[in-house]
Structure 1
């Protein structure tokens, strides 16, 4: 799947939003990708997961024993990646602010894990998920995401395979351009308060 085809999926599902958004990273942006919208159609979610799985080198795909994603945003794409790769999919969640495996999910020592996200901006959630997976006995062999918003700067400590790289600028609160500073930020993500 080419970049324009991926963007067409986001546009068709009205998942590419414009305005003033406060991202879960604490940064601001004039663009927001509501991946939950692009993934709410099971056929579209499956197509995107198959396309993302095809970005992984064949030898890496053979190693992966489990897919783990951070809740909430990564749950659907993580599940679909598990289906595309023919392995179990689990997720980590933050019941008390720190990621942990719950709901009976467990790893065997040394399980090779692919960590899957919907969108990566700063990589903070991804790194926290990777740490949790490693503490639970898994070996994260790679990370994947539908969208890399880091402008190629994110370093997760493992190979990273995004389906699409978008370079919409993000801003620290003190760096807002006038068009954003003059409007109220909306927090549309799963951690909206």
Structure 2
């Protein structure tokens, strides 16, 4: 899939929003990708994840285990694991840190791929990778549907993205006037429904 085709899927789902958004990093942006609007459609999700799975195989070869950070990475992680014929695990926070729970385990010799939905700074992907350091498998890389950093996020492992969509983000003290004029909305809050899709 081309970048335009990927973004078209997000637009069709009403998932590419414009406004003034507070990102999870605390930075601000004029665009927000509400990926759960895509994930509510199994057909859209499968289409994107199959396309990413093809890129994953071309880059990494066989993958035994896919691990995703909860919550945002669970749906694409599962769907990509299904396309790859791999196991789908996820890490979740316990006492503030990601951990494998629920009896999940990685076996010796497993080739492990970390899957994220969207990467901006790469923080949650790095935390996910670091949480697997004591597991016996080998982390071969990471993949995401959209890389908002346009290749700048450093995960410590190679990254494959279905689409790079570089969107400027700003320190809240250094907003451009057009963004400062809009009321900020934290994604996931009720106010996000008033954003222009």
For Structure 1 versus Structure 2, the TM-score category normalised by the shorter chain is over 0.9
Residue 5 (structure 2) aligns with: 5
Q: Residues 14 and 175 from structure 1, CA distance in 2 versus in 1: closer, same or farther, beyond 3 angstroms?
A: same
Does residue 183 (structure 1) correspond to residue 174 (structure 2)? The answer is no
TM-score (structure 2 length as normaliser): 0.91
Moved more, 135-144 or 83-92: 135-144
Aligned-partner SS, 1:47: helix
* Contact 1:121–1:154 (CA under 8 A) maintained in structure 2: yes
In the alignment, structure 1 segments of 5+ residues that lack a partner are none
Query: d(CA) in 1 for partners of 2:165 and 2:80?
Result: 21
Does residue 36 (structure 1) correspond to residue 29 (structure 2)? The answer is no
Moved more, 49-58 or 141-150: 49-58
In the alignment, structure 2 segments of 5+ residues that lack a partner are 190-197
Aligned-partner SS, 2:97: coil
Q: How many correspondences in the alignment?
A: 189
Residue 19 (structure 2) aligns with: 19
Q: Residues 61 and 156 from structure 1, CA distance in 2 versus in 1: closer, same or farther, beyond 3 angstroms?
A: same
Residue 93 (structure 1) aligns with: 92
* Contact 1:61–1:85 (CA under 8 A) maintained in structure 2: no
CA RMSD of aligned residues (A): 1.5
Q: Residues 58 and 164 from structure 1, CA distance in 2 versus in 1: closer, same or farther, beyond 3 angstroms?
A: closer
Query: d(CA) in 2 for partners of 1:163 and 1:122?
Result: 17
Query: d(CA) in 2 for partners of 1:61 and 1:49?
Result: 16
Per-residue deviation at 1:133? 1.6
Moved more, 158-167 or 103-112: 103-112
| Cα displacement string for residues 2-39 of structure 1 (whole angstroms, at most 9, x for unaligned residues) | 11111111011000011111111111100000111111
* Aligned structure 1 segments of 4 or more residues deviating by more than 6 angstroms: none
Query: d(CA) in 2 for partners of 1:143 and 1:89?
Result: 14
TM-score (structure 1 length as normaliser): 0.92
* Contact 1:20–1:185 (CA under 8 A) maintained in structure 2: yes
